[in-house]
Amino acid sequence: MTSHSPEAGQSGKTSAAGTSRLAAPDAAGSSDAQGNGASAVRLRKRAGRTGRAHRSGRGRTFRWTPYLLIAPAVGILLLALAYPIGWQLVTSFKEFGLAQQFGQPAEFNGLDNYIKIVTTGETWMVVVRSVVFCLVNAFLTVAAGTALATLMNAVPKAVRLILQVALLLAWSMPVVAVMTVWNWLFDWNHGTINWLLVQAGAEGYSRHNWLENPLSFYGVATVIIVWMSVPFVAFSMYAALTQVSGEVLEAAQIDGANAWQRFKGIVVPMVRPVLMIVLLLQIIWDLRVFTQIRMLQDRGSFPSETDLLGTYIYREGVGASHFGMAAAMSVFVLLITMVAAWPYVRSLMKEETI
């Protein structure tokens, strides 16, 4: 028979109570952990919803201050551009010639001017010629300006100052003065370029007319336009290069990257925004070039073979008194410019949404 003492029963009760008391905190801890886990899950879901709302723009507070700050500049631009652009747009749908200059009402001809643009082979030749010339000049200018900016960033202060003064002098010269000098340099009879080539042994360049052949004509125009445009690119890129961290370049050099690898992998990505805006501006400017081409044509070339969009519009409007056609062509050039600028504007919009 087994006997049960009171002490044994009491100890059993005590151990059972202790076990229950020990189990109670564990259960409470488990419930607290579950509660904390649920709270963490709810916080993560709320943060996810907030992040999605901010990314989609629903959580942003609209602010009027930036728009009020740019409103005066936008207003001035609208006042300065509304009338000429509006006049061109209205005139492009009319038959506006020499008679209309003396008071005769202009007849509305709808899309006839635009139809002539897209159906005329000469117009498309001018467009293709202008686009190719514009891209070649823009990329050459940006490449030369970036090279000069890199040189200014690497040379001592005295040499850099000399380069900057020379670039400023070239940039500050009026276009007519620049063209006078370059026309003298490439003059077929007494030009310095022909004289230097003859002295170097190229007898075939004696009295050589550089502006007679379209290819050499555009070569001379490219030299002049790039020479005049490089200072702007050089100064802009130099300002961007001064913001590149020297510690990062030094670390890359210690890791074994050569000069080209450092420039391509570190410098170019850091200055890419400035590089893109400079290239875009250069494309727009070179697409609308007029003065240099016109003054070179006056020195002895065939306008029908060397016309670009600017001189073609001038010849149609002022030369042939087809102002309606010239206005339609101007609107067409505006559309081409907008298409050229759209990739950069799109990249800016993407950066704003990030």
Average pLDDT over residues 103-128: 86
CA atoms of 323 and 308, how far apart (whole Å): 17
Lowest-pLDDT choice from 95-109, 166-180, 290-304: 95-109
- Among 173, 174, 176, 170, smallest CA distance to 230 is for 170
188 is a domain residue? no
pLDDT in tens, 27-43: 444 445 444 445 544 54
59 is a domain residue? no
What pLDDT does 238 receive? 93
Is the pTM for the entire model greater than 0.75? no
- Among 316, 283, 302, smallest CA distance to 217 is for 302
What pLDDT does 60 receive? 62
Judge whether 107 and 95 are in contact, CB under 8 Å.
yes
What is the percent of the chain with per-residue pLDDT over 70, rounded to a whole number? 82
29 is a domain residue? no
Average pLDDT over residues 304-310: 88
Q: At residue 95, what are phi and psi to the nearest 5 degrees? A: -95, 95
CA atoms of 41 and 183, how far apart (whole Å): 77
Whether 2 has a pLDDT exceeding 60, the answer reads no
192 is a domain residue? no
335 is a domain residue? yes
42 is a domain residue? no
What pLDDT does 46 receive? 54
Judge whether 325 and 113 are in contact, CB under 8 Å.
yes
16 is a domain residue? no
Whether 94 has a pLDDT exceeding 80, the answer reads yes
Whether 123 has a pLDDT exceeding 60, the answer reads yes
CA atoms of 202 and 215, how far apart (whole Å): 19
What pLDDT does 71 receive? 92
Q: At residue 94, what are phi and psi to the nearest 5 degrees? A: -125, 165
What is the percent of the chain with per-residue pLDDT over 90, rounded to a whole number? 28
Average pLDDT over residues 129-143: 94
More confident residue, 38 or 269: 269
Length of the chain: 354
DSSP string, 217-244: HHHHHHHHHHHHHHHHHHHHHHHHHTTS
Give the chain's mean pLDDT.
81
CA atoms of 90 and 88, how far apart (whole Å): 6
Average pLDDT over residues 279-288: 90
CATH at 236 = 1.10.3720.10
Q: At residue 182, what are phi and psi to the nearest 5 degrees? A: -70, -35
CA atoms of 294 and 27, how far apart (whole Å): 92
For residue 93, give its domain range: 66-177+211-353
**339 pLDDT band (50/70/90 cuts)?**
confident
Number of domains the chain contains: 1
pLDDT in tens, 40-80: 445 455 545 555 544 444 556 778 888 899 999 999 988 88
Q: What is the DSSP letter of 107?
A: E
CA atoms of 263 and 272, how far apart (whole Å): 12
Helix/strand/coil for 320: coil
Helix/strand/coil for 55: helix
5 is a domain residue? no
Average pLDDT over residues 296-301: 84
Whether 232 has a pLDDT exceeding 90, the answer reads yes
Whether 207 has a pLDDT exceeding 50, the answer reads yes
**240 pLDDT band (50/70/90 cuts)?**
very high
